[in-house]
Amino acid sequence: MSKREWLDFVDRLINEDEMEVIGVRAKGSKFQFAPIDSSEELRLDYNVTILPPKKQLLPPHEDLMTYDISKPFNVLSSKDEGKKILIGVHPYDVIAIQQMDEIYLGTHRDEHYDARRKNTLIIASDILNVPERSFSGSLGTHVVEDGFDLLITDLGDMVAVTIGTKEGEELLNTFAEPGEATDEDEMKVKRLRDELPAKYQRKLKVDKYQWEKLLEENYDHPIWEENSKKCLTCGSCTLVCPTCFCYDVEDVMNINMKEGKRVRTWDGCLLRDFTLVAGGEVFREDLKDRYRHRYYRKGLFLPMRNGFVACVGCGRCATQCLPDIADPCDVINTLASYSMHEKVNFPIPDVKQAGIEEGLLVPEPATIVKKERMTELETLYEIKLDSGKELGHKPGQFIELSIFGIGEAPISVSSSPGGMTFELLVRRIGHVTNKLESLEVGEKIGIRGPFGNGFDVKDLEGKDILFVSGGCGLAPTRSLINYVMEHRDDFGRVTILYGCKDPKAILFDRDLRSWGDVKDVTVKRTVDSCPDGECWDGDVGLITTLIPPLDMDPENTIGIVVGPPIMYKFVIKELKAKKIPDDNIIVSLERRMKCGVGKCGHCQMNGIYVCLEGPVFKYNDVKDIPEAF
Amino acid sequence: MVKDVNIHVKHLTRVEGHGNIYFNTKNGEVSNILWEVDEAPRFFEAFVRGKSYDQLSHLTSRICGICSIGHSIASLRATEAAMGVQISEQTELLRRLALHGENLQSHSLHVGYLVAPDLIGAPSVVPLVKTHTDAVIKIVTLHKFANYLSDLTCGRTIHPITLEVGGFTSIPTEKQLVEVKKQIIDTMVVTGEVAGIVLANAHKLPDFQRESEFIGLTADDHYPYYKGDVASTDGGMWPPESYLDITNEYVVPQSTAKHCKHNRDSYMVGALARFNLNYRHLSDEAKAVAEMFGLEPVCYNPYMNSIAQLVEIMDSLVDSTRIIDQLLSNGLKNETSEVEIRPGRGVGAVEVPRGLLFHDYTIDGLGNCIKANCVIPTNQNHGNIQKDMEAIGPTLVGKPEKEIELTLEMLVRAYDPCISCSTHYLDVKFL
Amino acid sequence: MKPKVAFFDFASCEGCQLEVINLEEKIIDLIDVVEIVSFREAMKEHSDEYDIAFIEGSIQRPMDEERLKKIRGNAKILVALGACACIGGVNKLRNEWSVDNVKEEVYGDADIEGNKLFDAFPTKAINEVVDVDFYIPGCPINKVEFAKVVSHLAIGKTPQLPNYPVCVECKKNENICVFELGKFCLGPVTRAGCNAICPQFQDGCEGCRGFLEDPKMEAQKDVLRKYGIRLDDMMKRFNMFNYKKGVY
């Protein structure tokens, strides 16, 4: 169609009340995607926008749900189903959106993203001016074949339109009368695309299939340390990235203390508090590790998972980084020039999980039916889903517990599978768990889940089982122990070792004693120290001291180790000393699991999402993962 | 035998900053009447020494949260005068609009939140939320609009962001200006209603007269806030540069704020002074508000300052529409501030809500400030407050203590003192 | 029982309390949730019975120090309101000189010797005098953040300040980086929470919310050098709200 016809087409779309037209327009000397009032504002000659069009599908701040805490359980999803048309999306951003679709609509569908995506039409545009820092020409993301509804090519006096979908075709035919493209037109479009790569100033020395190998071989390359010294840790590189998708969630109350909302905001792995857990520990404290993680995530971990490099070469990160250390093109080229050739493996355990199709974000109502204080810090809650359904969990899985107005916290399930209620052992350590303590029996909470990979009970059948639990680690283990007790004949000898700080901190003492009464079950309890005058009938000393005297058949024994981070190294050393093969050791790890479904990014250790592949792992699968222990 | 009265209002409420009132009688005579300011001194003029010219307005705006826009603009005008920086017509118009935003904000806060409770007979606006809900909502609407106008022109109503030497870092869009203008029309209606509420309670304003001098900016053709010559109701006109001959600051032992005097023992600045000096330039809509209260120039009743503020609210709204029309007909331009560093000294005189404000800077060849002086409206009023108290004091003897206290508190409040502002200056003339 | 709340001010411009008043109609909601028992700028009512004290301003004189300690004694929770209270803010700039020097500059040769109203010591942030439970930084405070802290305290959630730099908010708001406009900005080392309001209006961050717990000062200085800013000019701007003797 002619330029005039194209502009008329855009104006007709703008005048349509049903949908919002978001186009590329100038913002000072830069560009942004924003609502346009007239086709004249549209700037197809732009190089790159400050933020990618991702913000229309996953906004920097979005309300997930609203609620009224003056009522027992009053929660409404705040899905945005407004119709939108994005005009002027460059090929690299189209590809980035395809990647986002894979993340948010693949396994475990995010209903908010889904609602926006379904209602958004994309009119892509071929690149006319190459952004200065872009290297999309080297990645092949400067052109695109699908992922758009319409693709336009501005040829000066004419605009060529490529139809991508039926919806796109319908839109075009409803609001314009396009003519048939001539061979000459098609040649022009082809020439424009073919000539693009030569216009790039920045080029990768290796193709995108080399990224994984380069990263595998350079985990300890000096560039990570050197560049991280210049890093401001401002997070800009991740925040402007079209393929970054990590988020944080926060509850915000209105000042009237009745209505509130749960808000999702962009987060980024460069920011220190990204890996902060309620206890105050930061799992990726060293700036070098955070700096490196971004490259590994984009160039190795996500490709391993999804099959594509999570970088489209738009150059936004490089443009925004003040010390100029965020450019993947620079970093990959450096690695290509000076490779360390020291291969490190980052295997991702293959865990099969049923995908969640809906109701991923909004918790379902549940009621506290029983509350029992265990120690000064820990309380056991019995919970019932208001739907009357079973929770349907496996031992070792966790749920996300919501208190509206406060937030969500991941809690492992302590009871064995089945039954109309389930139990949670909760340590008061953060906002949610502190508030929970003030709730009474009968009050409502929200539950999402169960999530994660639990213990595979079938794998344990016929084996001797050695449980080693420290402190709160007994909470997830108890679920499995109870299961084993309920199916006692399916398992061999059972030994339960439990250690905690002092007699006052002991958890599930009644259970420990009753398990000890079962045939062929040995229970040993120990405390790190016992203050004078305290009554205590167990051992005194670290839990590791209980292992050497045990009599066991190492080949047929499965060691299940769950406890505070510090415990693993020492316990596993003792198990190895007992000749238990690594293959027979199972651990459960703790991270800050915010979403529960591998999207928010907080629980990731190297390539592994603790919420998806864990929290229960075969030791063999994680022992070489640098960030695991 | 008359009982002795001893009133000490420690930290007078519903004013900006810390001031105390003392009133004592002995044998039926006033033995002591004192307006004391014990606000902690903050030494602005001392610490701006050595700071860069482009930091000065951002630092001195922190003198006062309520009139930070006024301080910024006085500061910019002084800096621009010192360095010979020219500004565009658009910048001047937008600055005038910003001053109106602040005038509206400060006056509506004062009349609505601080003075109205006295007239209605409540300790504060809080109980009025329940008893006079409609009135409170109207006042909130007015105040909110004022902040919206300030936010739009300055980025932020408290400690403006966009105001810079030579111009603006960022300006509103034409669309936003059109929207503001629409809202002004509605706000004028609300202002009329608020005036009605005040009028219904205006009998509570004491009928007290004391002939005094009023000083403020004046101009030939408009009611000036942004620039003009300094004039007095006792006659005379001076350029702002000779402000030291007008203000004659001096330190008194009961105050960390300096006092001022000109033709008489004391003078007054502020809305009433501007009203008395520039009545002829008020819009018809504003004059109509004055008429509701029988307010005419020259009015010597300081309690009527709050009414003059109400008049100015209406006038600021009217003038804002004129400014917006002018801006829209000129078309908004994206200008960049052109600044060349040059040494010199400059004075900026601006009418801020509480009256005439002077900033005076000396800038060196590197663009750093080497000397600064700020004369704040409330300073200029402290002496007049004291003199008013001395005059009204004897008429209060024999009245119930509560009434004496309220009358004196209302007097100080009428001046809308900005006490934290008034505790920083220099070049003292100790008399 | 509604928590009882009081506001107090010391050396300051009272802009932070004004920012509270600028909540406009939301104050009506606020007074449904908390009972304001003292707010001198806006109320005559006063009581010394309060749970939460909000303190604006920094401490300049022995008499202020005494008053603050008394407030701390009465309050269960004490919250620092604004830059002057949290970090000293612009008030600390005078600490570059001796008290005598600044007094002479401001009051000249007036006879203020021995007058306790003028009895100043070098400016202190309030945590240099009493323990502070929570901080609401900024010059002025951000009223949205104030409302958030109040609602957190009311619902029993510990208020937490963002522990990331202003850049994060700039990016989320799609601001043009002010460095690209040739301006000085402290955003990369300054605690966010202001919604990057200054850069939003194309002015650089001046650090009024205080620096991060672990600011990357050397990296920041490298960046400023790259943009041609001299060290002495840098220090003047680093010091604006975060005065420190010696060089950052």
pLDDT in tens, A557-607: 999 999 998 899 999 999 999 999 999 999 999 888 999 999 999 999 999
Contacts B170 to C, Cβ<8 Å: 201-203
Residue B1 lies in a domain: no
**pLDDT tens figures, A125-156:** 999 999 999 999 999 999 999 999 999 999 99
Is residue A404 in some structural domain?
Answer: yes
pLDDT value at residue B425: 35
Q: Do C115 and B164 touch (CB under 8 A)?
A: no
Rounded percentage of chain C residues whose pLDDT exceeds 90: 71
Residue pLDDT, tens place only, A144-198: 999 999 999 999 999 999 999 999 999 999 999 999 889 999 999 999 999 999 9
Beta strands in A329-420 (DSSP E): 364-373, 378-385, 398-403, 407-412
User: How much is the ipTM here?
Assistant: 0.94
Touching check for C43 and chain B: CB below 8 Å? yes
**Is residue A398 in some structural domain?**
yes
Taking the C-alpha atoms of residue B95 and residue A585, their distance in angstroms, rounded to an integer, is 73
Lowest mean pLDDT: which of A339-343, A363-367, B111-115, C103-107?
C103-107
Which among C7, C10, C18, C237 is the top mutation candidate for probing chain B, defined by the most B β-carbons within 10 Å of its own β-carbon?
C18
The pair of structure tokens assigned to A230 is 């210049």
Position B422 scores a pLDDT of 55
pLDDT at residue B259 in the model: 84
B60 and B19: one domain? Answer: no
The domain that holds B288 is classified in CATH as 1.10.645.10
Residues A156 and A184 in one domain: yes
Domain membership flag for residue C244: no
pLDDT 10s digits, A609-628: 999 998 999 999 999 999 98
- Which residue in chain C is spatially nearest to B15 when comparing CA positions? C41
DSSP category for residue A342? B
Does any domain span residue C72? yes
Are A32 and C174 within 8 A, CB to CB? yes
Query: Is residue B227 situated within a structural domain?
Result: yes
Chains touching chain C, criterion 3+ CB pairs below 8 Å: A, B
Q: How far apart are CA B410 and CA A32, in angstroms?
A: 54
Domain hosting residue A40, numbered range: 1-344
pLDDT for the residue numbered A353: 77
- The answer to whether residues B105 and B17 belong to one domain is no
**Chain C interface mutation, best of A62, A227, A264, A322, highest count of C Cβ atoms under 10 Å:** A322
Report how many domains make up chain C. Answer: 2
- Are both A101 and A218 inside the same structural domain? yes
In a domain, C18, yes or no: yes
Tokens 């200085």 belong to: C221
Q: What is the CATH number of the domain that holds A481?
A: 3.40.50.80
DSSP strand pairing (C52-56 vs C4-9)? parallel
Provide the pLDDT for residue B420: 58
Domain that holds residue B142: 44-388
Tell me if chain C has a CB within 8 Å of the CB of A280.
no
pLDDT at C112: 72
Nearest to C36 among B126, B157, B256 (CB): B126
Return the residue matching tokens 């709200």: C241
Non-local (6+) Cβ contacts of A385 within 8 A are A364, A365, A366, A391, A447
C221 and C99 within one domain: no
Mean pLDDT score, B400-420: 86
Decide: B188 and B243 in contact? Cβ < 8 Å: no
3-class DSSP assignment, residue C228: coil
Q: Is C68 an 8 Å CB contact of chain A? A: no
> Best residue in B47, B139, B249 to probe C by mutation, most C CBs within 10 Å?
B47
Token look-up 């969500």 returns A408
**Mind listing the pLDDT tens digit for each residue in A515-530?**
999 988 999 999 999 9
Q: Are A323 and C219 within 8 A, CB to CB? A: yes
* Res. A287: pLDDT tops 50: yes
The chain-wide mean pLDDT, for chain B, equals 91
User: How close does chain B come to C162, measured CA to CA in Å?
Assistant: 21
Q: Range of C9's domain? A: 4-155
User: Does a structural domain hold residue B405?
Assistant: no
Provide the chain A residues 560-579 that lie in CB contact (below 8 A) with chain C: none
pLDDT at A278 over 90: no
Residue B8: what pLDDT?
A: 80
pLDDT value at residue C19: 95
C117 with C178, same domain: the answer is no
Angle at B121 between CA B117 and CA B122, to 5 degrees: 55
Specify whether B274 is located in the same domain as B323. Answer: yes
Inter-chain CB proximity B420 and C103 less than 8 Å: no
Question: Do A441 and A478 fall within a single domain?
Answer: no
Residue C11 falls inside a structural domain: yes
In this structure, is residue A309 part of a structural domain?
A: yes
Specify the pLDDT at position B5: 82
**Structure confidence by residue, pLDDT tens digits, B284-318:** 999 999 999 999 999 999 999 999 999 999 999 99
Q: Which of C147, C168, C214 sits opposite A235 (nearest CB)?
A: C168
- pLDDT tens-digit readout, C218-234: 999 999 999 888 888 89
For residue C160, is it within any domain? Answer: no
What per-residue confidence (pLDDT) applies to B431?
27
Query: Do C46 and C141 lie in a common domain?
Result: yes
- Across the B:C interface, residue pairs with CB atoms under 8 Å apart total 195
Q: Is the pLDDT of residue A105 over 50?
A: yes
Residue at C246 is within a domain: no
| Mean predicted confidence (pLDDT) in B65-86 | 97
pLDDT (mean) for B244-253: 86
The residues in C 166-185 lying below 8 A from A, measured between CB atoms, are: 167-168, 170-177, 179-181
Give me the pLDDT at residue B132, please.
92
**CB contact burial A232-255 (16+ within 10 A = b; e otherwise):** bbbbbbbbbbbbbbbbbbebbbbb
* Percent of all residues in chain B with a pLDDT value above 90, rounded to a whole number: 73
Cα pseudo-dihedral C207, C208, C213, C214, rounded to 10: 0
Does any domain span residue C16? Answer: yes
- C2 touches A at CB < 8 Å: no
Question: Are residues B81 and B32 part of one domain?
Answer: no
Kindly identify which residue of chain C lies nearest to residue B146, measuring between CA atoms: C22
Q: Is residue B431 a part of any domain in this protein?
A: no
A475 shares a domain with A445: no
Are the CB atoms for B109 and B143 separated by under 8 Å? yes
Q: Are strands A398-403 and A259-266 parallel, antiparallel or unpaired?
A: unpaired
pLDDT band for position B426 (cuts 50, 70, 90): very low
User: In this complex, do C201 and B144 lie within 8 Å of one another by their Cβ atoms?
Assistant: no
Query: pLDDT digit string (tens) for B208-239?
Result: 999 999 999 999 999 999 999 999 999 999 99
By C-alpha distance, the chain C residue nearest B118 is: C44
Query: Do C216 and A233 make contact, defined as CB atoms within 8 angstroms?
Result: yes
| Whether residue B303 sits in one domain with residue B228 | yes
Chain C residue closest to B106 (CA)?
Answer: C18
Give the count of domains, chain A. 3
- 3-state percent helix, strand, coil for chain A, nearest multiple of 5: 35, 25, 40
Together in a domain, B59 and B158? yes
In a domain, A501, yes or no: yes
Is A356 part of any domain? Answer: no
**Residues of chain A positioned with their CB less than 8 A from the CB of C150:** 255
C44 close to B (CB below 8 A): yes
Q: Is the pLDDT of residue B429 over 50?
A: no
With contacts defined as CB-CB under 8 Å, which chain C residues touch A29? Answer: 176, 180
Domain end position, chosen among C155, C184, C209: C155
Q: Are residues A439 and A487 in the same domain?
A: no
Question: Residues of A with CB below 8 A from C23's CB?
Answer: 255
* Residue B421, pLDDT score: 57
Q: Does C24 touch chain B (CB under 8 A)?
A: yes
Mean pLDDT, chain A, whole residue set: 94
Dihedral (C-alpha) A264, A269, A275, A280: value to the nearest 10 degrees?
Answer: -90
Choose among C28, C111, C139: nearest Cβ to B159. Answer: C139
Residues A395 and A368 in one domain: yes
Q: Does A323 touch chain C (CB under 8 A)?
A: yes
Q: What is the CATH number of the domain that holds C87?
A: 3.40.50.700
Per-residue pLDDT for A422 more than 50? yes
Asked if the C-beta of C231 comes within 8 angstroms of chain B's C-beta atoms, the answer is no
For the cut 50, the answer to whether the pLDDT of residue B430 exceeds it is no
- Is A215 part of any domain? yes
Helix, strand, coil percentages for chain B (3-state, nearest 5): 50, 15, 35
Final residue before a domain boundary, out of C155, C189, C209: C155
Residues 6+ apart with CB under 8 A from A412: A396, A397, A398, A424, A425, A475, A476, A479, A588, A615
Looking at the 3D structure of chain B, how many domains does it have?
A: 2
* B336 burial via Cβ count (<10 Å: 0-12, 13-18, 19+): exposed
The DSSP code sequence of A404-473 is TTTEEEEEEB-SPS-SSEEEEEEE--SHHHHHHHHPPTT-EEEEEEEESB---HHHHTTSEEEEEEEGGG
Q: Give the one of C10, C97, C203 whose C-beta lies nearest to B40's C-beta.
A: C10
Whether residue A146 sits in one domain with residue A115? yes
Clarify whether residues B147 and B20 are in a common domain.
Answer: no
Q: Of A451, A467, A495, which residue is a domain's last?
A: A451
Q: Does one domain contain both A466 and A586?
A: yes
Give yes or no: residues B11 and B116 share one domain.
no
> Which CATH number covers residue A434?
2.40.30.10
Q: How buried is B22 (Cβ within 10 angstroms: 0-12 exposed, 13-18 middle, 19+ buried)?
A: middle
Q: State residue A276's pLDDT score.
A: 87
State both tokens at C185.
Answer: 């900005």
Shared domain for B226 and B282, answered yes or no, is yes
Q: Which of A106, A123, A122, A124 is nearest to A114 (CA)?
A: A106
